[in-house]
Amino acid sequence: DGGITQSPKYLFRKEGQNVTLSCEQNLNHDAMYWYRQDPGQGLRLIYYSQIVNDFQKGDIAEGYSVSREKKESFPLTVTSAQKNPTAFYLCASSTGGSSYEQYFGPGTRLTVT
């Protein structure tokens, strides 16, 4: 299970607060991804990064922001502009971009009340 970690496992926040989810990998992967998973649904791409200091919006980027200052780290900030932030957030990394296996972190369950 090692290689890609997310913290914390559970996170609770009040509405109107920004919150940052951590994602770290020691697999030496170039590409990293953030997904959101809602109950009974598939994974939807929030942001992805193919290389350090570069990232692209996914399908549901509104209300989220990311940075990629180091190869190992790809933190996701859920801002107060995200209208429905309560969800399970999964980070993933990949060695060769979109044609290779993605390795997922254990996920962070965010609850905003």
Q: Which of 3, 13, 22, 44 binds another protein (CB under 8 A)?
A: 44
How many of the chain's residues bind another protein (CB under 8 A)? 23
The window from 17-25, 51-59, 60-68, 71-79 that contacts another protein (CB under 8 A) reads 51-59
Q: Which of 7, 12, 18, 59 binds another protein (CB under 8 A)?
A: 59
Beta bridge partners of 64: 78
Work out the burial of residue 85: count CB atoms within 10 Å of its CB; fewer than 13 is exposed, 13-18 middle, 19 or more buried: buried
Q: Which of 18, 20, 98, 111 binds another protein (CB under 8 A)?
A: 98
Q: Which of 11, 27, 45, 52 binds another protein (CB under 8 A)?
A: 45
Provide the 3-class DSSP secondary structure of residue 27: coil
Shortest distance, position 92 Cβ to another protein, whole Å: 8
**CB 75, CB 20: distance < 8 Å:** yes
**Residue 99 makes contact with another protein by CB under 8 A:** yes
Maximum separation of any 2 CA atoms in the chain, in Å: 39
CA distance 86 to 40: 14
Identify the CA nearest to 31 among candidates 76, 88, 74: 74
Using CB under 8 A as the criterion, which residues of the chain lie in contact with another protein when the complex forms?
33, 35, 40-45, 48, 56, 58-59, 90, 97-102, 104-107
